[in-house]
């Protein structure tokens, strides 16, 4: 769209409405260009010469006399389509036990790429850091797709509770070209040390475009009873004592 003839007073703000309605799961790019000129039509006295920097030449428009006629602000816009949030995957394990579970996540509407991406076939490790993605690739076909995934937590407190208890690794990928559905199969390990219920989100991004989010719910139920302590009374109104040892799992 094109907006023209907008007058701005000093220090005034300009809001530019934008609407993003992606039709497919692919990367969309656009550029917003704002061109500002003086209201009285005069030029700024600054002259752009051959020796001026490339950035300056790109960000101004020049009149015939070489003086600055207008100033440009250029904003690149990258649009990433996001699929509707999927149903939660529940992973339940008894406290002080270890659960290893296969989790299948379906990526619908994946757009194939025409050329193979670099580092195809590189193995990946699980990553639970909120700030970085773990690179992954699909099979080595002509339409190779690369995926990035990470596990995000609702807060730093939940992350500190779960990051040492949860492991997640991509072990298999299936690509259906007709339905454009990619199935990522993860091996999830959950070893809770106490009863809890916490949530996380697996965020998967395709480098060809598209973002998918899958909620995970980690539930740890009550652990098994360690032992039964029997106290035998030695008489009415008399104390009976029994001793037992407790071992701390941490310092």
Domain ranges, ordered by start, for the chain: 1-80, 89-111+145-221
Using DSSP's 3-state secondary structure scheme, residue 161 falls into helix
Average pLDDT estimate for 49-58:
69
Architecture of domain 89-111+145-221: Sandwich (2.60)
Residue 119's pLDDT is 38
Average pLDDT estimate for 137-153:
69
Give every CB contact of residue 117 below 8 A, 6+ residues apart in sequence: 137, 144, 145, 146, 207
Average pLDDT estimate for 161-174:
92
Inform me whether the pLDDT recorded for 139 exceeds 70: no
Is the Cβ–Cβ distance between 112 and 209 less than 8 Å?
Answer: no
Confidence of residue 124 (pLDDT cuts 50, 70, 90): very low
Matching residue, tokens 């920097």:
53
For 61-120, the pLDDT digits (tens) are 888 777 888 888 888 999 999 998 888 999 999 999 999 999 999 999 888 765 333 333
Residue 226's pLDDT is 86
Inform me whether the pLDDT recorded for 45 exceeds 90: no
Confidence of residue 122 (pLDDT cuts 50, 70, 90): very low
Inform me whether the pLDDT recorded for 24 exceeds 80: yes
Is the Cβ–Cβ distance between 111 and 172 less than 8 Å?
Answer: no
Rounded to 5 degrees, what are φ and ψ at 245?
-100, 145
Which residues are registered as beta bridge partners of 134?
Answer: 149
Residue 207's pLDDT is 84
Separation of CA 17 from chain center: 25
Tokens linked to 56: 């300056």
Which has more pLDDT, 127 or 34?
34
3-state secondary structure 6-41: CCCCCCCCCCCCCCCCCCCECCEEEEEEEEEECCCC
d(CA 220, CA 205): 29
Kindly provide the residue ranges of all beta strands, DSSP E only, lying in 49-153, ordered along the sequence: 60-62, 67-79, 89-94, 99-108, 134-137, 146-153
d(CA 114, CA 130): 31
Using DSSP's 3-state secondary structure scheme, residue 58 falls into helix
Residue 155's pLDDT is 92
Max Cα-Cα span within the chain: 113
Sheet holding 196-206, edge to edge: 89-94, 211-221, 196-206, 146-153, 134-137
Average pLDDT estimate for 201-218:
93
Which residues are registered as beta bridge partners of 28?
Answer: 79
For 2-21, the pLDDT digits (tens) are 566 788 888 888 888 889 99
Inform me whether the pLDDT recorded for 185 exceeds 50: yes
Out of 136-145, 149-158, 194-203, least confident range:
136-145
Tell me 193's DSSP state.
S
Out of 23-27, 70-74, 140-144, least confident range:
140-144
Matching residue, tokens 């550029």:
31
Residue-averaged pLDDT of the chain? 82
Listed in sequence order, the DSSP H helices in the chain are 54-58, 156-162
């Amino acid at each position: 769209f094109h907006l023209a003839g907008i007058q701005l007073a000093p220090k005034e703000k300009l809001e530019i409405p934008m609407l993003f309605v992606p039709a497919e799961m692919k990367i969309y790019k656009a550029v917003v260009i704002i061109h500002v000129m003086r209201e009285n039509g005069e030029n700024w006295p600054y002259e752009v010469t051959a020796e001026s920097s490339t950035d300056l030449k790109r960000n101004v428009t020049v009149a015939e006399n070489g003086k600055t006629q207008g100033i440009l602000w250029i904003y690149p816009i990258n649009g990433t389509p996001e699929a509707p949030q999927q149903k939660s995957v529940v992973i339940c394990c008894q406290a002080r036990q270890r659960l290893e579970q296969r989790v299948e996540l379906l990526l619908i509407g994946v757009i194939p790429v025409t050329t193979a991406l670099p580092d195809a076939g590189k193995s990946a490790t699980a990553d639970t850091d909120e700030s970085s993605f773990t690179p992954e690739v699909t099979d080595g076909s002509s339409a190779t797709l690369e995926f990035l995934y990470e596990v995000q937590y609702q807060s730093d407190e939940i992350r500190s509770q779960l990051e040492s208890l949860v492991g997640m690794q991509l072990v298999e990928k299936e690509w259906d070209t007709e339905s454009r559905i990619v199935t990522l199969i993860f091996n999830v390990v959950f070893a809770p040390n106490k009863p809890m219920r916490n949530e996380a989100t697996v965020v998967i991004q395709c480098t060809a475009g598209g973002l998918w989010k899958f909620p995970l719910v980690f539930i740890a139920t009550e652990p098994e009873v360690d032992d039964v302590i029997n106290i035998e009374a030695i008489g009415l109104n008399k104390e009976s004592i029994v001793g037992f040892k407790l071992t701390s799992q941490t310092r």
